[in-house]
Structure 1
Amino acid sequence: MLQTISNWRRRSRYHDVVRVCLPLVASMSATTVMEFTDRAFLANYSLEAISAAAPAGITAFLFMAFFGGVGSYVGVFIAQYSGSGAHRQIGRVLWQGLYFTLFSGLIFWLLSLFAAEPLFRLAGHSPEVQALERIYFDILCRGAVLHVAVATLSTFFAGRGMTRPVMLSTLLGMAVNIPLDYALIFGRWGLPEMGIAGAAVATVCAWAISFLLLSLLIFTPEHDRRFAVLSNRAFSGEIFSRLMRYGVPGSLQFSIDILAFTFFLLLVGRIGTIELAATNIVMSINALAFMPSMGVSQGISVLVGQALGARQPQQARAAVWSGIHLLLVYIAVVDLLFILFPRAILSPFLATGSDPAAAGAVLATAMPILRIVSAYLFFDALYMVFSGVLRGAGDTRFIMVSIGLASVLCLILPVSAGILAFDMGIIGAWLCVLIFVFALFLLSAGRYRHGRWQQMLVIKESAR
């Protein structure tokens, strides 16, 4: 028995998973804390503001997730280059991501000019909510190039398994964002009262701070000697095309997921303002609870990429199951809190000075949704780990196709038909979300078990 335990501990990679994933979890959680405080402040500012923040924010993030996802896929290349020992290629692939970032800035500027009004008019929310949605979306889009740049620059450290600088840059952004959020939303410390616009401005300022810190840490003479981050700036059509080949499908995984939830939010708004406010609050809480899963997923992608680059798939498998074990312990704790103490978790979003009847209605609607989310989190955590494996190997087309089909068949179509044709209530809509996430878990787990990912590399041609 002791020998068996000793062998199991030797084969496991808990230390590596914690070392790589924990700073990413902290970074993701810090990002979500910024969003959480955004929503908490806005919930205490006005019902219209919190009702507008989630649809506008998730719509803007839909575009940011795509472009940021392509930029962050540079990390898979860096992980595999690092594992294979081709360190001088790291600077070159990083610059290909930065060139893509500049292109994304142009697209975001066009979105801010032409997309806001038709997008939110289509949603059919009240005129007051639509006006606030347009403001929030416009400001976020104008600063979104900084978000993509941070995602791309972070890969220089994360792809090599050095995730603490990523955490530090995010924490610094959070330290700027939270007090600035409060000051600009409510008009404190001599700053103007800007409401929902202030929340967006504070978010963009946080991105700028993180971008500045990462730039200072990366572009140094020492890093240029080791990784050619300054001397290898030339555009490479071969590497850029490979980044697009693998990064675009990989990014569409998250973009399609967010698109499905964007449709879900817009449709829930047709049920009623109370249901929309309750859904926005629960989704904000869910985002805070979910981000550790996202951090572990990114960390697993790095560890899998490094192991495959070094031709050691057994190390990748060990990292996967070590990550699952650690993540499920966290999910169990969160689920117990959601099930046993829903009122305490929801209370920060319900202002004591607001209309008591409206606050009570939102609370009564949100409590059963929060219990559904406890089941959602379990399957979503497993899906995120398995999809992280596939992403780290380069099996991104499968992820894109599978999530696209599941989004349409398990979420968009049933919720659309249920709300628009059959008067589906908010609980029925959220049960469709649970079915959707369960389908994603089954698809990703099946692909992982098939094992094809163990023979894949995104750098196979260009690294030789």
Structure 2
Amino acid sequence: MKLGTSYRSILRVSFPIIIGSAAQNVVAMTDSVFLYYRSEDDFAAIGFVSAFYIIVAAIGFGFSRGGQILIAHYAGKGDKVAVGRSFYSTVYFEFVLALALFFFMTYGAYWLFALFVDSDVIFYKSLEYLETRKWGVFASYLGVACLGLYTGIARPGFIIVDTIILAVTNIFLDRALIFGMYGFPEMGIAGAGLASTIAEYVALFVFLIYMVFDRKNRKYAIGKLPKWDRKLIWEIIGLSVPIVAMSAVGLGSAFFFFGLVENFGERQLAVTNIVRIAYLILSIPAWGFCTGINTLVSYFVGKGQPHNVKVVLWKTAYMCLGITLLMGLPLVIGPRTVLYPILGDERAYLIEMAYPIFWVLLGILTTFSFGSIFFNGLIGAGETKKALIYQTLCAVVYMALIFIVVRSGWGNLTLAWSVEIAYWVLMFALSYRYFIRPRWDMYPEHMASGKSP
């Protein structure tokens, strides 16, 4: 593969990933929208428990990004055999990891939820959803390993098709299993979990069929199962553990946020879930560009061209901001026009209550566009330990401010959401400071050697 620093090259890599990165967002949003029509309790509960499950999904995705970075690095060097071995090492590890998370959700989720949730209704409905949703972790983790391969070699085109299949299957089954239509049983929130699980297995099966017939990947020996490569797996773990820790810290702070907002009351939690739906939609481009920048930065480091890294970082950030604002402004200007076709008039009062927060959300997405891109540039450059330090610092500041706002007498939901702007501003400042250091351009092989520039 050959990549450049032009906007067209960045978009060619990032656009299919943007669609593919929407997978978990689409699943979470679809579950939320259908449960919105069922009852306010179900809607509030899915906001909490899906925030937890996204953490589970992010753990698998984080390890796949370690594999993706390694795959892109070897692809940049032209080592085709190492690309295939890196992929299978990612698959092996993802399966073991999925097994561990499945057992945690089976035996540990009850005690974890009990620490955060005061409402019995939210607590038991969350467990009901997880009982059927947990089986999808195997399909999810093996699926992101496949995505890691095609993203790492900069051939992510089929990801668009597979994500569409996932979305269509999930929408049909959500409608069928939540409300008991087309001859299916009415399962409520448990049906939402089962629908998402089945949809992920369908998407994985389709992707595997595509890989079997994809002749272009045969040069990586994808059809041959290599032995368990302990050294390569440890390389992936070395890159991935900080990434996973960053996901756990970042999404854990979001889970912490939802747990604290529940103290405002079930109505405020439902309002927060309205905003979360908007956030899930509007953040799709940013997360796609983040994954794309991992590949681009890792590729240029592998080619020994670190001077191109800063070029693609700024161009990607500008492109991300432009697309995000293009999507976000209509929501702020006319939330009724945008959300009513999706959510209807069933609980229109929740949309009205959420309106002030939409303006805050626009500020979040603006700072998110720069902070997340530069931060993921660090990850793509192999500086995962440094990125973990930055993420942890930002999360600690964020959670401290959230705790103060929620627990104080003067705090409110709008102010609580505003804290995330400070989070992304701090993240951008730390990451930007790293890339403007003169030594960055003078040390092209720092990722391969494991040293910092």
User: TM tier, shorter chain?
Assistant: over 0.9
Tell me the residue number matched to 1:40. Answer: 33
Tell me the residue number matched to 2:60. Answer: 67
Shift of 1:73: 2.0
8 Å CA contact 2:30–2:170 kept in 1: the answer is no
1:427 matched to 2:414? The reply is: yes
Structure 1 pair 232–313 and aligned structure 2 pair: CA distance change class (3 A): farther
Tell me the residue number matched to 1:417. Answer: 404
Shift of 1:36: 1.9
Tell me the residue number matched to 2:123. Answer: 130
8 Å CA contact 1:80–1:305 kept in 2: the answer is yes
1:104 matched to 2:97? The reply is: yes
DSSP 3-state at the match of 1:88? helix
Tell me the residue number matched to 2:164. Answer: 171
CA distance in 1, matches of 2:6, 2:214: 33
Aligned counterpart for 2:149 among listed residues 152, 156, 167? 156
Q: Which moved more, 1:430-439 or 1:400-409?
A: 430-439
Shift of 1:326: 1.7
1:377 matched to 2:365? The reply is: yes
DSSP 3-state at the match of 1:235? coil
CA distance in 2, matches of 1:142, 1:291: 25
Shift of 1:87: 0.9
Tell me the residue number matched to 1:365. Answer: 353
DSSP 3-state at the match of 1:262? helix
CA distance in 2, matches of 1:54, 1:453: 42
Shift of 1:414: 2.0
Aligned counterpart for 2:211 among listed residues 212, 218, 243? 218
* RMSD, matched Cα: 2.1
Tell me the residue number matched to 1:245. Answer: 238
Shift of 1:376: 0.2
Q: Which moved more, 1:83-92 or 1:246-255?
A: 246-255
Aligned counterpart for 1:446 among listed residues 408, 433, 437? 433
Tell me the alpha carbon deviations over residues 35-55 of structure 1, each in whole angstroms, 9 at most, x when there is no partner: 222211111111011100021
CA distance in 1, matches of 2:310, 2:410: 46
8 Å CA contact 1:281–1:349 kept in 2: the answer is no
Please give the TM-score of this superposition, normalised by the length of structure 1. 0.90
Shift of 1:103: 1.1
Tell me the residue number matched to 1:295. Answer: 288
Shift of 1:216: 2.4
1:407 matched to 2:395? The reply is: yes
Tell me the residue number matched to 1:311. Answer: 304
CA distance in 2, matches of 1:153, 1:429: 37
Shift of 1:322: 2.4
Structure 1 pair 187–352 and aligned structure 2 pair: CA distance change class (3 A): same
1:436 matched to 2:429? The reply is: no
Shift of 1:280: 0.9
Tell me the alpha carbon deviations over residues 196-240 of structure 1, each in whole angstroms, 9 at most, x when there is no partner: 111111111121122112222334694675112233511122111
Aligned counterpart for 1:25 among listed residues 18, 23, 39? 18
8 Å CA contact 2:18–2:288 kept in 1: the answer is yes
Please give the TM-score of this superposition, normalised by the length of structure 2. 0.92
CA distance in 1, matches of 2:437, 2:338: 40
DSSP 3-state at the match of 2:140? helix
CA distance in 2, matches of 1:456, 1:142: 42
Letter in 1 for 2:386: F
Q: Give unpaired runs (5+ residues) of structure 2.
A: none
8 Å CA contact 1:21–1:296 kept in 2: the answer is yes
Aligned counterpart for 1:227 among listed residues 213, 220, 232? 220
CA distance in 2, matches of 1:278, 1:440: 27
CA distance in 1, matches of 2:368, 2:328: 13
Shift of 1:457: 5.1
8 Å CA contact 1:81–1:89 kept in 2: the answer is yes
- The within-5 A match list for 1:278-357 is 278-348=271-341, 350-353=343-346
DSSP 3-state at the match of 1:269? helix
Tell me the alpha carbon deviations over residues 237-257 of structure 1, each in whole angstroms, 9 at most, x when there is no partner: 211111111111022222211
Tell me the residue number matched to 1:394. Answer: 382
CA distance in 1, matches of 2:439, 2:195: 44
Q: Which moved more, 1:100-109 or 1:13-22?
A: 100-109
Structure 1 pair 264–377 and aligned structure 2 pair: CA distance change class (3 A): same
CA distance in 2, matches of 1:174, 1:124: 30
Tell me the residue number matched to 1:76. Answer: 69
DSSP 3-state at the match of 2:283? helix
1:184 matched to 2:172? The reply is: no
CA distance in 1, matches of 2:158, 2:78: 22
8 Å CA contact 2:17–2:292 kept in 1: the answer is yes
Letter in 2 for 1:343: R
Shift of 1:445: 1.9
8 Å CA contact 2:71–2:152 kept in 1: the answer is yes
Q: Give unpaired runs (5+ residues) of structure 1.
A: 1-10
Letter in 2 for 1:442: A
**Percent of paired sites with the same residue:** 24
Q: Segments of 4+ in structure 1 off by > 6 A?
A: none
Structure 1 pair 389–453 and aligned structure 2 pair: CA distance change class (3 A): farther
Tell me the alpha carbon deviations over residues 309-368 of structure 1, each in whole angstroms, 9 at most, x when there is no partner: 1112233333223222222211232342233112333435655345xxxx42x2332111
DSSP 3-state at the match of 2:103? helix
Letter in 2 for 1:420: R
DSSP 3-state at the match of 1:191? coil
CA distance in 1, matches of 2:189, 2:17: 28
Q: Which moved more, 1:376-385 or 1:212-221?
A: 212-221
Tell me the residue number matched to 1:273. Answer: 266
